[in-house]
Amino acid sequence: MKMMNKIGVKMMFSFSLLLLFGCKNVLRNDPSFSEERLDTSMVKNYPTESEEEKITINKVTIDQIDFYIEWCDNASAKTLQRMFPLEIMMDDLHNNEKYYYLPKPLPTEAQSPGKISKGDVMLFGKDCLVLFYEDLETNYAYTRLGKVIDPEGLDQISHQKKLNVLFTSEKID
């Protein structure tokens, strides 16, 4: 009886291996197989590594001056971009930043950056969008969203107390 059990176990093991590895390339070796004949409608297309690393840049118009923001690859920035196009009025605070309270909270990954640079776009708390137009040191915690690519142009808008800002859904390659 022990001998029969051993033979049965070996046969099951062999059969399992055949199923796992023996049928691996059957379709590809069949001359009638065609990639075009596959129904791929139920297959989810996941981004390739190069697509995941693709940098997202959007145009933003600040009081009729065009700037470009390179967005961070995080949930907060992606959620904000889904709100675009978004036209807002940003108020000045401390003569170094413009801010706006968003209608919906964003996911956060807040940390104290220590140093903030001109052009940084950040989230304070869950819903306060901040655009910095001066460099500064801080102990406050922010979630990084992105950065204005050429922040020197922000000098033109720094003196205004309120700014009309239009975040477009227009992506730049």
Which of 64-103 are b and which e, b meaning 16 or more Cβ less than 10 Å from the residue's Cβ?
eeebebbbbebebbebbbeebebebebebeeebbbbbebe
Question: Is pLDDT larger for residue 18 or for residue 57?
Answer: 57
Count of positions (residues) in the chain: 173
Whether 60 has a pLDDT exceeding 90, the answer reads: yes
Task: Please count the CA atoms within 13 angstroms of the CA of 84 that sit on its side-chain side.
Answer: 18
- The domain segmentation of the chain, as residue ranges, is 2-37, 49-172
- pTM comes to 0.68
CATH code for 49-172? 2.40.100.20
The string of pLDDT tens digits covering residues 107-162 is 999 999 999 999 999 999 999 999 999 999 999 999 999 999 999 999 988 888 99
pLDDT in tens, 152-172: 999 988 888 999 999 998 888
